[in-house]
């Protein structure tokens, strides 16, 4: 509850609007009640009177109350719900800002679905209760007491007794709730089962048809569907009980009014017209009562959601600027001034991922002078990407130091470290925006058209971009043009180059490019960046052949060898063997499965593609 | 779902009533006539009961209450009241029971219809040829069978039945009012359209507004998802600010769309209650005049008031029902689209069943051409023979067209040009199930099927008796695998085949193929590595499988290839080389290089 209150504080930022909105509620309810009283009195008067000129005034008052009620009901919803949406938006923004700055260790260990749900369904659950939920609750808390008070004044006993069926309803709801939950879950599960079975069958249709299993599978599906149907029926029956209970108690109240009200009317202890007021107010109170039940039902979910959101907000960020940490400003004074040259040193670096059960890297040391190129190769999982992650300080080392220009990266401002790097990731990640915007993403300052074209040229993409529907202004990704693996990789290189980095980091990003283009690219890269340090991790040894140094990693993250291409060939071992094998492959035009272009439509692979890949 | 998908789904049917679709849906309603009749009965009884209830109120107010006003002895009137109340309570008890049935029955009816529909759609999709599945993400097909169907269930529960009933209710009630009091009736009939108008007018705007919000939300969440997957790039490029700014923009758009929706709803509720007040006000005016003029009793007006409440509810729900119907018809349209799709691989008009002779069949591929996607040929004129009892192995790099040969032979697709014959008969002229049943099939994919081991091996083939099964297991070196399981043949297989290792599954697949005593074999060797002991067993079993049968093998094992009577080396849809293993090695061409690559590597690793 405390948490929910804290979230409510956000609502208080808009207290003026909220206040007005909340004020509208009782006013609207009062007007509504006033209408009932008005009509009740009019009817009573009519019963006893002979003429009806007084009706004009009554109608006039009715119109007034109706308008008042209409206006206030409009504003109540307009003000309160809009505020709740504003809070939602603010909360989402804060969460997003937080998420984007959290270190990669967090993102590595969390599932994106889980994180996204906190920003979506959890925020919604909290908003629903604190916004509309509050509105409905307040409305109910106004109309119910007012009505009861009025009715109490007319006939105390009746007012008290008619409340009893409501308790019966509340009790029934409480009893049925856990069952409803259970049955709901059962239905959810059986729906998932149906989905799963359909998925399996459609994805494996070749096997089903090949082995002539259509009938059997259809029978299985039928029984799964039948289970779902039965679960739904059970749920429906439970809902039936709820429905009957709610309406039943409502109608029981009517019966009470008929009996006691009738008795009182016969005994003349209550005017006949008062019965109308009892009935009409009962009708008006019905929905607010249901609403309270509904809000109470949502409360546990909202509390759980509030907890999850809070958890996210509290995530610590250990990789921070040394400047922002208290007490260590003294050592960082010198480092903030000089621009990065680009010398990279690893001093006996070891690293283990927070979730890993063995070290990813062990005792890695090397020195890359300014302007030289280091190739990093090794079998899958040997830690090539990890080394690159450490250079950009996406993680901190477990032991040993990473130095940039002789200064430990931990002592340099994060922005400076990252500002000097151009990073080309393994998964060739691009945003679903315009092609040129993806390249601009890399640059620190505004790029001119000419500069963008130059970058595209560097990445050997000029011809292909010219063939896009709108050239470089074409949108890429899900809603636009789909790029092949090789095209994506080259675009990422252009993006990295856009910031004219001192250090260029290439993470196995030439795998989908054929050897010719690769050679072209590497050549233009080295030509364009004099004095630029380059780190290249690669599967294909041809990518690192011309590097100044090549670091060979063993399968368990240890340094196996380091030297030039010639040195390593001469020395034999993993490098030499792999080189030979890869050369032969090339000559046959055979592509390693790691090296395929992959499906053209990202996301879901169709059966034809799965076929073709085999 | 992307925003685009949502939009498309929403836009499919803008009609709220599609008669032809409805007719087709009726076909599914037929078998459940009794349930539907029951629903209508319950709803009718409830309606009648509610109406009766209002009549009781009038009876009380105009009866004992009125009479007792002037009387001194209240006794008899109190007794009369108790009688009325007794009846009322009994009525309410009955109504409570009916309400339970209302919900439960409507739900049950909807689910019954939907179950039938779902099964039919599944069966239909399942039997379509493979080309239907190409280019359609599995997810979309699954939606047809899940959410689209669920949507339809709404049609039958809160949709059609209730809507029809609501309309009947409104008409009956209005008519009843004429019995009650003509003036009140007229006034109501004249003012109620206002209510209907508000309900319907709002509906269209609400849908558009909702759609807008959903689209913006989808975009927002899509961006969030994207940023999360590329967060490393964002951080390394120090673009946190920029990305936050983009998010803020998307949030703002979402917020604006929300405001529009809220505005509409904020307007709707007061508008409805205002319309109700107008109806009530008009009725009050007329009513009071009549009461003072002694042409209307208090009780009658009271009853009118209660009937009016009954009238307003269905009208208020009109807009919502409208939306449900529209969305349900959209789903129905998508579903019938699927049901109307016909496969391209057709059963022949007069399917031939070539007799099985003692000789294994002769298979011929004659200048076969094929492309999955128009414009990208996969087989460019392939011709070869599988002489009776001989094994032809196909090798080649990925994408060379090997598995396509299997697909065409099994008629998962039909050739674009050329033909495939079995003992001289074009496979297209054979009964499909006959053709497929002829093969001893060993596909790469392992078990899919839940059930007992026996089920998986027998596959409902009548000709596979216990002897045949035992023989097959022995020949395939798989007998001990089954024996060591608890329950032996009757043991249940885990659906993902986790009961057996990869190698063991291959052995069982061979046994399965053998059990049918085929004279024709298609073998698509699995590439997964297995331990050397199992490997030896598989080699032996394979050898026995292929002996004396006509076989097409997509080979990955050196032993299989070496033993083949002919090897076809495929490259980019053509047969580049053919011959026996020794002949091809001696030639020193493509095969020789492939051989060196694949098998020397295997030795090194």
Domain with residue A15: its CATH number is 1.20.1560.10
Asked which of A296, A313, A330 is the last residue of a domain, the reply is: A313
Q: Determine, yes or no, domain membership for A320.
A: no
Q: Return the closest-CA partner of residue A288 out of A162, A135, A149.
A: A135
**What end-to-end distance do the CA atoms of chain A give, in Å?**
56
B236 and chain A in contact, CB less than 8 A: yes
Inform me whether the pLDDT recorded for B586 exceeds 80: yes
What pLDDT, in 10s, does the model give residues B445-486?
A: 665 566 788 888 887 777 788 888 888 888 888 888 888 877
Look at residue A539 in the predicted model and tell me its pLDDT.
83
* Residue B328's pLDDT band (cuts 50, 70, 90): confident
Using an 8 Å CB-CB cutoff, list chain B residues near A78.
Answer: 262-263, 266
- Asked if B138 lies within 8 A of A604 by C-beta distance, the reply is yes
The model's pTM is 0.76
Q: Looking at the domain assignment, is residue A229 inside a domain? A: yes
Residues of chain A positioned with their CB less than 8 A from the CB of B92: 248, 251-252, 254-255
- A505 and A494 in a single domain? The answer is no
Enter the tokens of residue B518.
């085929």
pLDDT at A598: 27
A348 shares a domain with A249: no
Q: Alpha-carbon distance A363 to B214, whole Å?
A: 52
The answer to whether the CB of A498 falls within 8 A of the CB of A455 is yes
Residue-level pLDDT at B116: 93
Are residues A489 and A510 part of one domain? no
Contact between residue B214 and residue B260 where contact means Cβ atoms under 8 Å apart: no
Q: Which of A545, A529, A569, A444 is nearest to A495 (CA)?
A: A444
Torsion over CA: A25, A26, A29, A35 (sign)? negative
Among B77, B302, B305, whose Cβ lies nearest the Cβ of A266? B77
Question: Does residue A326 carry a pLDDT above 60?
Answer: no
Split at pLDDT 50, 70, 90, the class of B387 is very high
Per-residue pLDDT of B20-42, as tens digits, reads 887 888 888 889 989 989 999 99
| Long-range CB pairs of A584-592, under 8 A, 24+ apart, other chains included | A584/B593, A584/B596, A584/B597, A585/B597, A586/A515, A586/A542, A587/B593, A588/B397, A588/B590, A588/B593, A588/B594, A588/B597, A589/B397, A590/B397, A590/B594, A590/B597, A591/B397, A591/B398
Q: Reduce the DSSP state of residue A396 to 3 states and report it.
A: coil
| Interface contact A206-B445, CB threshold 8 A | yes
Domain residues for the domain of A235 are 2-313
Identify the pLDDT of residue B72.
80
B227 in contact with A at a CB cutoff of 8 Å? yes
Q: What is the mean pLDDT of residues A467-490?
A: 80
Whether the pLDDT of residue B172 is over 80: the answer is yes
Instruction: Please tell me the predicted confidence (pLDDT) of residue B231.
Output: 87
Pick A93's closest partner by Cβ from B251, B412, B601: B251
User: Is residue B268 within 8 angstroms of chain A, CB to CB?
Assistant: no
pLDDT band at A607 (very low <50, low <70, confident <90, very high): very low
At residue B50, does pLDDT exceed 70? yes
Q: pLDDT class for B111, splitting at 50, 70, 90?
A: very high
Chain A nearest CA to B169, separation (Å): 19
Tokens of B552: 């097409």
Quick one: pLDDT at residue B448?
A: 56
Give the distance from residue B486's alpha carbon to the nearest chain A alpha carbon, in angstroms. Answer: 24
> How many angstroms separate the CA atoms of A432 and B226, rounded?
8
Any idea which residue has 């896009």 for tokens? A468
- Tell whether A214 and A252 lie within a shared domain: yes
CA distance B2 to chain A (A): 9
| Facing residue for A191 by CB, picked from B146, B397, B437 | B146
Q: Specify burial of residue A233 (Cβ count, 10 A radius: 0-12, 13-18, 19+).
A: buried
Percentage of residues in chain B having pLDDT higher than 70:
92
- Which tens digit of pLDDT belongs to each residue from B271-320? 999 999 999 999 999 998 888 888 888 889 999 999 999 999 888 888 77
Residue from B93, B97, B138 to probe the interface with A (highest A Cβ count within 10 Å): B138
Digit-coded pLDDT (tens) for B119-160: 999 999 988 888 888 767 777 788 888 888 888 887 877 777
Answer whether residue A222 is part of any domain: yes
DSSP helix, strand, coil percent of chain A (3-state; round to 5):
65, 10, 25
Q: Which of A439, A480, A483, A429 is nearest to A459 (CA)?
A: A439
What are the tens digits of pLDDT across the range A243-255? 898 899 889 999 9
- What's the CA gap between A409 and A119, in Å, rounded? 33
CB contacts under 8 A, B 497-556 vs A, are none
Q: Is residue A197 part of a domain?
A: yes
In a domain, A326, yes or no: no
Q: How many domains does chain A have?
A: 3
> Are residues A126 and A209 located together in one domain of the fold?
yes
**pLDDT one-digit tens code per residue, A383-407:** 888 899 898 888 888 899 999 998 8
- Chain A hits for B139, CB-CB cut-off 8 Å, are 199, 604
Token pair, residue B277, equals: 């007040």
Q: Is residue B493 within 8 Å of B453, Cβ to Cβ?
A: yes
Q: Is the same domain home to A243 and A168?
A: yes
Give percent of chain A above pLDDT 70.
90
- Do A37 and A65 contact (CB within 8 A), yes or no? no
Give mean pLDDT, residues A510-534: 74
Cβ separation A244–B99 shorter than 8 A = yes
- CATH number reported for the structural domain that contains residue A493 in this entry: 3.40.50.300
Section B32-55 average pLDDT: 93
Most confident listed range (A476-480, A492-496, B54-58): B54-58
Shared domain check, A409 and A266:
no
The answer for residues whose C-beta is within 8 angstroms of residue A9's C-beta and 6 or more apart is none
Mutate to test the interface with B, among A115, A213, A229 (most CBs of B within 10 A): A229
A307 in the same domain as A255: yes
Q: Are residues A507 and A483 in the same domain?
A: no
Beta carbons within 10 angstroms of residue B79's beta carbon: 11
pLDDT at B14 over 70: no
**Residue where the block lists tokens 């807008």:** B212
Residue linked to tokens 């063991």: B504
Using DSSP's 3-state secondary structure scheme, residue A117 falls into helix
Q: Which one of B237, B268, B277, B463 would you mutate to disrupt binding with A, by most A Cβ within 10 Å of its Cβ?
A: B237
Question: What are the structure tokens assigned to A539, written together?
Answer: 């599967």
Residue A327 is assigned to a structural domain of this protein: no
Q: Which of A42, A73, A479 sits opposite B269 (nearest CB)?
A: A73
pLDDT of residue B97: 96
Rounded to a whole number of angstroms, the distance from the CA of A299 to the nearest CA of chain B is 23
**Is the confidence at residue A575, as pLDDT, over 80?**
yes
Q: Do residues A505 and A487 share a domain?
A: no
Per-residue pLDDT for A82 more than 80?
yes
ipTM: 0.83
Same domain as A609, residue A483: no
Q: Which residues contact A7 (CB under 8 A, 6 or more apart)?
A: A87, A91, A126, A130, A306, A309
Q: CB–CB of A216 and B273 under 8 A? A: no
Partners of A265 on chain B (C-beta within 8 Å) are 65, 68
The stretch A113-131 carries a mean pLDDT of 87
A173 with A264, same domain: the answer is yes
> Residue range A264-274: average pLDDT?
86
Domain boundary among A474, A498, A522: A498
Helices (H), A333-470: 384-391, 414-419, 435-440, 449-458, 462-466
A415's CB contacts (< 8 A; 6+ apart) are A321, B238
- State mean pLDDT over B214-223: 85
Q: Which residue among A450, A474, A498 closes a domain?
A: A498
Q: What is the rounded CA–CA span in Å between residue B191 and residue A488? A: 65
Per-residue pLDDT reduced to its tens digit, B409-451: 989 899 999 999 998 889 999 888 888 888 888 887 665 566 7
Which chain B residues touch A423 with a CB distance below 8 Å?
233, 236-237
Shortest CB distance from B115 goes to which of A229, A235, A442? Answer: A229
Q: What percent of chain B has pLDDT over 90?
A: 32
d(CA B36, nearest CA chain A) in Å: 15
Single out the residue of B301, B280, B282 nearest to residue B290, CA to CA.
Answer: B301
Angle at A188 between CA A183 and CA A192, to 5 degrees: 145
Question: Domain for residue A482, yes or no?
Answer: yes
Strand-pair category, A344-351 with A361-368: antiparallel
**Does any domain span residue A387?**
yes
pLDDT at A591 over 70: no
Residue A473 has pLDDT above 70, yes or no: yes
Residue A127: pLDDT band (50, 70, 90) is very high
């Amino acid at each position: 509850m405390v948490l929910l209150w804290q979230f409510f504080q956000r609502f208080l930022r808009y207290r003026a609007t909220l206040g007005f909105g909340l004020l509208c509620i009782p006013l609207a309810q009062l007007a509504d009640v006033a209408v009932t009283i008005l009509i009740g009195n009019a009817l009573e008067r009519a019963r006893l009177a002979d003429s009806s000129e007084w009706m004009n005034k009554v109608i006039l008052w009715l119109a007034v109350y109706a308008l008042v009620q209409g206006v206030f009901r409009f504003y109540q919803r307009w003000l309160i719900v809009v505020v709740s949406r504003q809070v939602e938006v603010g909360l989402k923004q804060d969460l997003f800002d937080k998420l984007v700055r959290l270190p990669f260790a967090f993102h590595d260990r969390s599932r994106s679905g889980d994180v996204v749900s906190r920003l979506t369904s959890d925020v919604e659950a909290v908003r629903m209760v604190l916004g509309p939920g509050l509105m409905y609750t307040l409305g109910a808390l106004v109309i119910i007491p007012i009505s009861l008070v009025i009715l109490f004044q007319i006939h105390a006993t009746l007012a008290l007794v008619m409340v009893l069926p409501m308790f019966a309803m509340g009790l029934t709801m409480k009893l049925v709730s856990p069952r409803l939950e259970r049955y709901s879950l059962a239905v959810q599960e059986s729906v998932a089962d149906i989905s799963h079975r359909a998925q399996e069958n459609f994805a494996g249709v070749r096997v089903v048809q090949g082995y002539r299993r259509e009938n059997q599978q259809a029978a299985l599906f039928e029984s799964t569907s039948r289970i779902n149907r039965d679960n739904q029926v059970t749920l429906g029956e439970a809902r039936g009980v709820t429905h009957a209970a709610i309406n039943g108690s409502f109608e029981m109240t009517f019966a009470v009014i008929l009996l006691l009200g009738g008795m009182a009317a016969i005994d003349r202890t209550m005017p006949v017209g008062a019965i109308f007021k009892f009935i009409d107010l009962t009708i008006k109170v019905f929905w607010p009562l249901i609403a309270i039940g509904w809000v109470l039902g949502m409360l546990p979910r909202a509390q759980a959601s509030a907890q999850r959101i809070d958890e996210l907000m509290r995530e610590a960020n250990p990789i921070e600027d040394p400047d922002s940490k208290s007490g260590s400003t003294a050592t960082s004074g010198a480092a903030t001034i000089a621009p990065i040259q680009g010398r990279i040193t690893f001093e006996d670096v070891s690293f283990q991922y927070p979730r890993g059960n063995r070290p990813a890297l062990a005792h890695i040391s090397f020195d890359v002078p300014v302007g030289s190129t280091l190739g990093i190769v090794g079998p899958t999982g040997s830690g090539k990407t990890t080394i690159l992650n450490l250079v950009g300080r996406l993680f901190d080392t477990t032991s040993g130091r990473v130095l940039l220009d002789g200064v430990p990266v931990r002592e340099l401002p994060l922005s400076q470290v990252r500002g000097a790097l151009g990073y080309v990731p393994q998964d060739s990640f691009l945003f679903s925006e315009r092609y040129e915007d993806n390249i601009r993403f890399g640059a620190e300052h505004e790029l001119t058209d000419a500069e963008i074209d130059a970058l595209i040229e560097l990445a050997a993409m000029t011809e292909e971009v010219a063939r896009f529907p709108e050239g470089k202004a074409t949108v890429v990704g899900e809603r636009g043009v789909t790029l092949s693996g090789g095209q994506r990789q080259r675009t990422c290189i252009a993006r990295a180059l856009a910031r004219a980095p001192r250090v260029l980091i290439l993470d196995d990003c030439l795998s989908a490019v054929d050897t010719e283009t690769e050679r072209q690219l590497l050549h233009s890269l080295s030509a364009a960046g004099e004095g630029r340090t380059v780190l290249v991790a690669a599967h294909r040894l041809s990518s690192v052949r011309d590097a100044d140094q090549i670091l060979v990693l063993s399968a368990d993250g240890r340094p196996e060898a380091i030297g030039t291409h010639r040195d390593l060939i001469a020395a034999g071992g993993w490098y030499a063997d792999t080189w030979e094998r890869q050369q032969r492959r090339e000559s046959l035009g055979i592509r390693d499965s790691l090296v395929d272009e992959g499906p053209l439509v990202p996301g879901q692979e169709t059966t034809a593609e799965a076929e073709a890949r085999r | 779902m992307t925003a685009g998908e949502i939009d498309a789904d929403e836009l499919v049917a803008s009609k709220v009533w599609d008669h032809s679709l409805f007719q087709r849906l009726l076909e599914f309603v037929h078998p459940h006539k009794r349930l539907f009749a029951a629903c209508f009965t319950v709803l009718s009884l409830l309606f009648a009961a509610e109406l009766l209830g209002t009549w009781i109120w009038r009876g009380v107010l105009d009866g004992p209450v009125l009479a007792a006003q002037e009387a001194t002895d209240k006794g008899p009137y109190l007794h009369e009241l108790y009688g009325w109340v007794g009846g009322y309570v009994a009525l309410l008890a009955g109504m409570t029971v009916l309400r339970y049935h209302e919900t439960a029955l409507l739900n049950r009816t909807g689910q019954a219809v939907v179950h039938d529909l779902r099964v039919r759609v599944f069966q239909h999709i399942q039997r379509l040829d493979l080309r239907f599945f190409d280019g359609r993400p599995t997810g979309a097909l699954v939606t047809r069978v899940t959410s689209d169907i669920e949507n339809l269930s709404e049609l039958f529960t809160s949709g059609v039945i209730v809507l029809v009933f609501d309309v009947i209710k409104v008409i009956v009630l209005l008519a009843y009012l004429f019995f009650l009091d003509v003036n009140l009736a007229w006034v109501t009939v004249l003012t109620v359209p206002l209510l209907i108008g508000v309900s319907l007018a709002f509906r269209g705007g609400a849908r558009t507004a909702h759609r807008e919000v959903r689209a913006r939300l989808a975009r927002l969440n899509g961006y969030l998802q994207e940023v999360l997957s590329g967060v490393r790039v964002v951080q390394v490029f120090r673009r946190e600010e920029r990305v936050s700014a983009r998010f803020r923009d998307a949030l703002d758009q979402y917020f604006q769309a929300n405001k529009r929706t809220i505005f509409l709803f904020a307007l709707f509720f007061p508008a409805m209650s205002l319309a109700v007040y107008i109806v009530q006000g008009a009725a009050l005016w007329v009513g009071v005049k009549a009461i003072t003029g002694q042409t209307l009793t208090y009780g009658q007006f009271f009853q009118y008031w209660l009937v009016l409440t009954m009238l307003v509810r269905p009208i208020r729900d009109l807009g919502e029902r409208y939306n449900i119907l529209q969305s349900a018809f959209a789903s129905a349209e998508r579903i019938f689209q699927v049901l109307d799709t016909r496969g391209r691989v057709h059963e022949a008009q007069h399917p031939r069943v070539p007799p099985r002779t003692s000789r294994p069949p002769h298979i011929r591929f004659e200048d076969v051409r094929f492309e999955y996607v128009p414009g990208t040929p996969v087989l460019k004129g392939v011709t070869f023979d599988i002489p009776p009892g001989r094994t032809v192995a196909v090798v080649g790099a990925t994408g060379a067209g090997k598995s396509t040969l299997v697909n065409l032979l099994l008629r998962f697709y039909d050739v674009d040009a050329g033909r495939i014959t079995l003992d001289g008969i074009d496979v297209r002229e054979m009964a499909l199930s006959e053709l497929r049943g002829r093969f001893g099939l060993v596909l790469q994919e392992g078990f899919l099927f839940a059930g007992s081991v026996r089920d998986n091996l027998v596959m409902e083939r009548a000709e596979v008796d216990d002897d045949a099964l035992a023989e097959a297991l022995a020949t395939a070196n798989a007998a001990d695998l089954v024996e060591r399981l608890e329950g032996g043949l009757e043991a249940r297989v885990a659906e993902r085949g986790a009961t057996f290792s990869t190698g063991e599954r291959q052995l069982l697949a061979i046994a399965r193929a053998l059990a049918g005593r085929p004279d024709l074999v298609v073998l698509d060797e699995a590439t997964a590595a297995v331990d050397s002991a199992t490997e030896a067993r598989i080699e032996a079993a394979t050898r026995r499988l292929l002996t004396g049968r006509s076989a097409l093998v997509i080979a990955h094992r050196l032993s299989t290839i070496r033993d083949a009577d002919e090897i076809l080396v495929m490259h980019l849809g053509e047969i580049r080389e053919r011959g026996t293993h020794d002949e091809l090695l001696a030639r020193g061409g493509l095969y020789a290089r492939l051989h060196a690559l694949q098998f020397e590597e295997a030795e090194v690793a």
